[in-house]
């Protein structure tokens, strides 16, 4: 064990400090604080010097994997590079020091960013209006479904209590529908991985509030029958919800509004290049077509005749309030910087390059990994495990989990595994447009190397990772009984 593998608690020496807080002149004596709110004993905190503290955090950060440390082909997550200029802009004191309860007249610049961002997203997606209030993709889904429900109720139509969700959908879709109090009806995909129109037809009726779709779907395939599906759903009085978390491949090419969708969300922390993971702040703006504009949540930012911006706090037709203030402004700023930096022309390039990168990897690896749906994909695609898993050696064959674990030894993050549920050994790869051809080639070489290892001796994969800080935790125990506290 290396010295710095020790816990910071084990390095602790009483009285040692890394930093001393300046005297802030706060004079209140402890007796002024109600006794019930005071600690009975001091907390046990590690006491270390500044260098030990710096090393503690630096070493911890190096045990983690991020898009800044290596290639991160996690399907359905769009782990693209986050330009550092976005961070600088979000950290500008004039933005960072804002308070949500500040008087409107003092935050005109921030409101302008907010307003212009709503307009930019409407232009990119073909929707009429946007709200930036929701704080995650799933939060956007819930908001969108609340808008759909509100729309039906405002028309006095109380019978629409069901929502159709394809079997290939992201897990958040049925979850959001359930949270919204809607009943979920599943529609099956055909053998080509697309929503089957003939399976959809009999599900439609006066009890259908709408359908939630992802296009390209979670297999990375474009739902080519979307116009027909839209017509059928509209005919039965339902609305179309678009899950735009991964709109990357469509940027500047096709707009959900033009495909017939009525409501949608975007994940700024995927498609629009803001950091994500670890449950940090996100942003799931929701866009709607004209007839749903009045149902958008409050508060809303509007532009007045005199060119000033104002916050509208209430509305009789609104689906309600979905967040404490107006969303995660820091995330919105980063995404706005990204959109302005690319401009109309280059936004289009992002989608094309993401699609090219995915198809390049797919075609380069299909000699070693099973490709269940061999058509052209969009930003991502799914393999169904190894062609030769090594079981002919007499040992148990290498699984998708084993491939994923072995990739870590080569310095790559694993792809998404065992999702979507349509294939038993799903390995879902999404490279994004920000990776160079050299990086893609290095990944392809390693994936071939792993396939050769599996065929020759699957145990190399079974015991991987060999070089990561920890090898294979028991995943159930790690999830059910995590040890989160240091007991010295
Ligand atoms: C990521 C994702 C979501 C959920 O987004 P969160 O911000 O994690 O809530 C929904 N749908 C799809 C297709 C996604 O990829």
Please choose, from the candidates 126, 74, 27, the residue with its C-alpha nearest in 3D space to the C-alpha of residue 416. 74
280 compared with 268, residue with greater pLDDT: 268
Query: How do residues 4-44 score in pLDDT, each as one tens digit?
Result: 678 899 999 999 999 888 887 776 677 788 888 888 888 88
Atom of ligand 1 nearest to the CA of 270: 1
Instruction: State the average pLDDT over residues 314-325.
Output: 93
DSSP run (H or E) holding 199: helix 197-200
Mean pLDDT of 238-243: 98
CB 262 within 8 A of CB 243: no
Does the beta carbon of 78 lie inside 6 Å of ligand 1?
no
Question: Is residue 1 pLDDT above 60, yes or no?
Answer: no
**Residue 32: per-residue pLDDT:** 81
What's the whole-number mean pLDDT along residues 409-436? 94
Which residues 6+ apart lie within 8 Å of 272 measured at CB? 266, 334, 335, 338, 339
Q: Say how many Å lie between the CA of residue 137 and the centre of ligand 1.
A: 5
CB 399 less than 6 A from any atom of ligand 1: no
- Which pLDDT score, from 0 to 100, does residue 487 have? 78
Looking at residue 28, what is its pLDDT? 67
**Which pLDDT score is estimated for 19?**
86
Write the burial class of residue 73 (CB in 10 Å: 0-12 exposed, 13-18 middle, 19+ buried). Answer: buried
Q: Is the pLDDT of residue 162 over 80?
A: yes
* Any atom of ligand 1 within 6 Å of the Cβ of 246: yes
> What is the band of 415 on the pLDDT scale with cuts at 50, 70, 90?
very high
Per residue in 170-205, pLDDT (tens digit) is: 999 999 999 999 999 999 988 888 999 999 999 999
**Averaged over 421-448, what is the pLDDT?**
96
Reported confidence tier of residue 278, pLDDT bands at 50, 70, 90: confident
Cβ of 282 below 6 Å from ligand 1: yes
Of 405, 147, 389, 77, nearest in space to 288 by CA: 147
Give first-to-last CA distance, the chain, whole Å. Answer: 18
- What is the average pLDDT across 220-249? 95
For residue 267 and ligand 1, the question of a CB distance below 6 A is answered with yes
The whole-number pLDDT of residue 4 equals: 65
Mean pLDDT computed over 386-407: 97
> For atom 5 of ligand 1, which residue has the closest CA?
137
Q: Judge contact between 115 and 309, C-beta under 8 A.
A: yes
Which residue's CA is the closest to the ligand 1 atom numbered 4? 137
Instruction: Please answer whether residues 224 and 259 qualify as being in contact, where contact means their C-beta atoms are separated by less than 8 angstroms.
Output: no
Per-residue pLDDT band at 90 (split at 50, 70, 90): very high
Give the atom of ligand 1 at the shortest distance from the alpha carbon of 141.
Answer: 10
Judge if the beta carbon of residue 212 lies within 6 A of ligand 1: no
From residue 318, alpha-carbon distances to 119, 126, 138, 243, 306 in Å are: 19, 21, 19, 21, 25
- Pairwise pLDDT comparison (25 vs 476), residue with the higher score: 476
Q: Please indicate whether residue 144, judged by its CB atom, sits closer than 6 Å to ligand 1.
A: no
Q: Write out pLDDT tens, residues 49-66.
A: 999 999 999 988 888 888
| Residue 475 scores a pLDDT above 90 | no
Q: Is 366 helix (H, G, I), strand (E, B) or coil?
A: coil
Indicate the average pLDDT of the chain.
Answer: 93
The more confidently predicted of residues 461 and 26 is 461
Q: Considering only 44-48, 115-119, 451-455, which range has the smallest mean pLDDT? A: 44-48
Q: Which of 135, 172, 271 to mutate to test the pocket of ligand 1 (most atoms within 8 A of CB)?
A: 172
**What are the C-alpha distances in Å from 355 to residues 347, 366, 381, 430?**
13, 17, 10, 9
Percent of the chain clearing pLDDT 70 (strictly above): 99
Give tens-digit pLDDT for 107-137: 999 999 999 999 999 999 999 999 999 999 9
Segment 164-172 shows an average pLDDT of 93
Q: Give the separation between CA 191 and CA 471, rounded to whole angstroms.
A: 37
Predicted model pTM: 0.89
List Cβ neighbours of 375 (8 Å cut-off, separation of 6 or more): 192, 221
At 142-160, the pLDDT tens digits run 999 999 999 999 999 999 9
Measured CA to CA, the distance from residue 443 to residue 413 in angstroms comes to: 10
Nearest CA to ligand 1 atom 8: 137
Helix or strand or coil: residue 242?
A: strand
**The pLDDT of residue 480:** 94
Give the residue-averaged pLDDT of 418-432: 93
Q: Is 245's C-beta closer than 6 angstroms to any atom of ligand 1?
A: yes
Cα separation, 305 vs 303, in Å, equals: 7
């Amino acid at each position: 064990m290396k010295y710095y593998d020790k816990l910071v608690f084990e390095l602790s020496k009483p009285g040692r400090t890394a930093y001393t807080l300046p005297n802030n002149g706060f004079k209140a004596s402890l007796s002024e604080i109600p006794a019930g709110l005071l600690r009975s004993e001091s907390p046990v905190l590690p006491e270390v010097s500044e260098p030990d503290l710096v090393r503690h955090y630096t070493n911890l950060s190096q045990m983690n994997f991020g898009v800044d440390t290596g290639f991160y082909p996690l399907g359905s997550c769009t782990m693209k590079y986050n330009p550092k200029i976005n961070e600088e802009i979000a950290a500008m004191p004039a933005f960072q020091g804002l308070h949500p309860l500040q008087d409107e007249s003092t935050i005109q610049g921030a409101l302008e960013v907010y307003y212009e961002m709503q307009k930019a997203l409407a232009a990119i997606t073909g929707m009429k209006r946007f709200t930036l209030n929701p704080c995650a993709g799933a939060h956007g889904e819930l908001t969108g479904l609340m808008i759909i429900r509100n729309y039906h109720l405002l028309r006095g139509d109380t019978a629409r209590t069901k929502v159709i969700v394809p079997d290939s959908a992201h897990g958040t879709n049925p979850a959001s529908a359930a949270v919204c109090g809607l009943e979920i009806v599943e529609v099956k995909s055909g053998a080509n991985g697309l929503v089957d129109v003939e399976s959809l037809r009999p599900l439609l009726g006066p009890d259908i509030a709408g359908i939630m779709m992802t296009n390209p779907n979670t297999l990375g395939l474009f739902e080519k029958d979307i116009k027909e599906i839209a017509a059928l759903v509209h005919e039965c009085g339902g609305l179309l919800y678009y899950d735009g978390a991964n709109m990357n491949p469509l940027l500047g090419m096709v707009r959900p509004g033009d495909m017939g969708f009525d409501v949608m969300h975007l994940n700024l922390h995927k498609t629009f290049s803001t950091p994500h993971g670890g449950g940090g702040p996100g942003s799931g703006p929701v866009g709607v077509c004209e007839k749903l504009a009045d149902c958008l949540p409050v508060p809303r930012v509007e532009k007045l005749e005199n060119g000033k911006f104002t916050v509208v706090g209430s509305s009789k037709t609104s689906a309600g309030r979905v967040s404490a203030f107006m969303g995660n402004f820091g995330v919105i700023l980063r995404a706005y910087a990204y959109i302005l930096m690319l401009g109309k022309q280059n936004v289009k390039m992002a989608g094309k390059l993401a699609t090219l990168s995915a198809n390049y990897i797919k075609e380069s690896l299909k000699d070693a990994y099973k490709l269940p749906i061999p058509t052209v994909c969009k930003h991502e695609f799914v393999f169904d495990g190894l062609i030769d898993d090594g079981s002919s050696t007499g040992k148990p064959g290498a699984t998708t989990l084993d491939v994923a674990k072995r990739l870590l030894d080569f310095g790559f993050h694993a792809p998404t595994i065992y999702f979507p549920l349509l294939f038993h050994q799903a390995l879902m790869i999404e490279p994004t447009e920000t990776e160079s051809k050299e990086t893609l080639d290095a990944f392809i070489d390693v994936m071939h190397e792993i396939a050769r290892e599996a065929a020759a001796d699957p145990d190399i994969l079974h015991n991987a990772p060999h070089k990561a800080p920890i090898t294979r935790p028991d995943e159930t125990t790690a999830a059910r009984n995590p040890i989160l506290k240091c007991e010295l």
